Structure 1
C-alpha cells in the first residue's frame, strides 16, 4: 500500500506543477485597452511601464513588490504626470494610489489664450506648459474670457475636468503633452 501512496503523492505534485505552469501570463495594459482609452488615461510611457511592472509582480504574487515599486516612485522627482502647483513633488499618503484619481490634487494655472467656449477636440494650453484636450462637454460663452485662471480637477478612475469658472459646467479633458 505504501508504493500507492508515494505514487499518488508524486502524481499530485506533478499535477500542481502543470497547473502552476498553465496559469495565464500577465497581459500588458496596452493589449487590454484601445488606443483611445489609453489616451484618455494620459499615462507617459514610463508611467505605463511602471504600472505594468507593478501589476505583473502583483499578479505573480511577489510579496512586497508593489510596495517596493511605489516606495521607489515616491522618491522619484522626475514625475512625468500632472504637476501640482509649480511642479514640486508632493508626499504621498499611506495607501495612496489604491484608487486612481482619488489621491490626485487639482492643478491650478492660467490659460495662454482667451477662451470663448469649447467642444470635443478643443485644446487648452496652460501657462505651466501642460496641454489638455476636451474629450466631452460643449460650452459657448456669451463673451470671450481673456486668459482666465483655470483649475483642472481630478475625478474618479483617472478622469480630469477643466473648470474655467465654478459656476459653469466643466469640460472632461485628458492631457496630451
Structure 2
C-alpha cells in the first residue's frame, strides 16, 4: 500500500510540474523525500528512466493559454449541445401545483397525485397534519443529485419524494 501512495505522490508532483510552464524541470530525487523514494525501491536505471520520461513530458507540455482579463459572455451556438449540469436537479425549478383530494399527512410509500397529472411517491419522511387539507397547493422542490422534496407548508418538514408518473 505504501508503494502506491508514493507513486501517487510522484504522479501528483509530476502533474503539478507539468501544469506550470514557468517552472524548470526538477529531478525526481529533489521532488520526493529520500525515504519515500527508497520505499518505492527503484533501481538507479529506473530512476534515470523516470527522470528522462518526466523531462520529455515537460518539454512536450503545451504552454498554458493566456488568461483573459474579464470573461466575455457569449450566446450559445445554434444547435450546440448543452453541457451537463454541475449539480443534477438543482437546475430544475420548483413545481407548483395542487394535490388532488384530501391529505392528513404522509409516510413512506404514499402517493400524491397532482392536478397537473404528475404522481409523486414519498420515499422518506413522515408527518401527521393537525387538520386534513383538501386539494392543498404544494411545491415540489429540487435538491442535489436529483432528489426532490414535497412541501405542503413552509413551516412544516418536507417529504422526500420521487416522481412515478
TM-score (norm. length: structure 2):
0.50
Partner of 1:115: 103
Q: Do the aligned partners of 1:159 and 1:172 also contact (CA within 8 Å) in 2? A: yes
Q: Do the aligned partners of 1:150 and 1:162 also contact (CA within 8 Å) in 2? A: yes
| Divergent runs of 4+, >3 A | 67-70
> In structure 2, the residue corresponding to 1:157 is in which secondary structure?
helix
Give the superposition deviation at 1:68: 10
Partner of 1:157: 145
Cα distance between partner residues in 2 of 1:143 and 1:118: 13
Cα distance between partner residues in 2 of 1:170 and 1:70: 37
Q: How many residues are paired up? A: 89
Partner of 1:133: 121
CA separation of 1:69 and 1:174: change in aligned 2, threshold 3 A? farther
Q: 1:100 aligns with which of 88, 101, 119?
A: 88
Give the superposition deviation at 1:98: 2.6
Cα-to-partner distance string for 1:31-69 (whole Å, 9 max, x where unaligned): xxxxxxxxxxxxxxxxxxxxxxxxxxxxxxxxxxxx999
Q: 1:166 aligns with which of 138, 154, 159?
A: 154
TM-score (norm. length: structure 1):
0.47
- RMSD of the alignment, in Å? 2.3
Larger radius of gyration: 2
Q: Which has the higher helix share?
A: 1
> In structure 2, the residue corresponding to 1:150 is in which secondary structure?
strand
- Structure 1 gap segments, 5+ residues each: 1-66, 72-93
Q: Do the aligned partners of 1:149 and 1:164 also contact (CA within 8 Å) in 2? A: yes
Cα distance between partner residues in 2 of 1:173 and 1:70: 33
